[in-house]
Amino acid sequence: MNKNHCKQENIRLGTHGEDYGSWMSNPVFYIIGGIGVLTAVLAVLSFYVLHVAVLGVLFTVITIALLVLLIWITWIRRQYAFGGGGIMEQVHRVVLSHLDYDGEGKILEVGCGSGALTIRSALTWPKAKVIGVDYWGAVYNYSKALCEKNAASEGVASRCVFQHGDAKQLDFPDESFDVVISNYVYHNVMGADMQKLRDMGYEEVRLVDTAQEAFGSHRRAAMMMLGSSRLLVGRK
C-alpha cells in the first residue's frame, strides 16, 4: 500500500460537526421532487376531472419513475456523504495516494468546494501550506467562509488559505506550487488535453483508472452515476 494512503487511514473528516456538503446539490432534489408533485396532480386531474384514463396512467407512470429516481439519488448522496457511506472521503484518499510528494512546500487545489480535499492534504502533510481556489457558485451552497470554518474546526486553519478564483484562468505565476490537485472539476479529460500537458513540459502524463480503488468496482462506480473513474497525473 502507498505510504501516503497509509497516513490517510487515520484521518477522518467531519467528526467535529464540519459541513462538507455533497456534490449532488439541493436544486437537483427540488427540481425532481417538484416535477413529481406536478405529474401526480396531473394524474389525479386526468382520472377524476378530465376522465381521460390514458393520460392518468401516463402521468402515474411518470410520477412513479420520478419517485424511484428520487430514492436512487438520495441513496447516492448518502453514499458520498462524509458522515454516510464515505465514498467521497475514499476518492480523496485515492487522489492523494497517487502523489509522489515529500510533504514540503505548497499545494494548490483547484475547485476546492467545501474545502475537504484541501484540509485532508494539510492533515496528511503537516509541513505543507495548502491553497484552495474556487468560484463558489450558488448551486452547491459552498463558500470561502464555510471552507475557513471547516479548516479551523479540523485544526489546520493556519496552513490552509482559501480564495476566489477561476479554474480556467488562475492568478498565480508559474512554478508557484509543488503540487496541484483537483477533484470532480475537470470532468472530461481527453487525449488532446494530455498532449497539451506534454507540450507544456509535463512528464509521465497518464490516465489512471481508479474505479477499483475509489469505488470497489466499475459496476459500483456506475451505480454512483459515474461511467468511469479516472485520475490524470503528471510531473513537471
List the domain boundaries for the chain. 3-10+89-235, 26-80
For residue range 129-175, list pLDDT tens digits in order.
Answer: 999 999 887 767 789 999 999 999 999 999 999 999 988 788 899 88
Q: Cβ contacts of residue 32 below 8 Å, gap of 6+?
A: 66, 69, 70, 73
**Contact indicator for 36, 63 with CB cutoff of 8 Å:** yes
Identify the pLDDT of residue 2: 52
* Among 186, 18, 163, residue whose Cα is nearest residue 89: 18
Helix residue spans in 157-232 (DSSP H): 191-199, 211-215, 218-223
Q: Which three cell numbers stand for residue 85?
A: 457511506
Measured at the alpha carbon of residue 121, what is the angle toward residues 212 and 190, in degrees to the nearest 5? 50
Whether residue 236 has pLDDT greater than 80: no
From CA 125, how far away is CA 8, in angstroms rounded? 10
* Among 127, 120, 116, residue whose Cα is nearest residue 97: 120
Identify the pLDDT of residue 223: 86
Domain 3-10+89-235 class in CATH = alpha beta
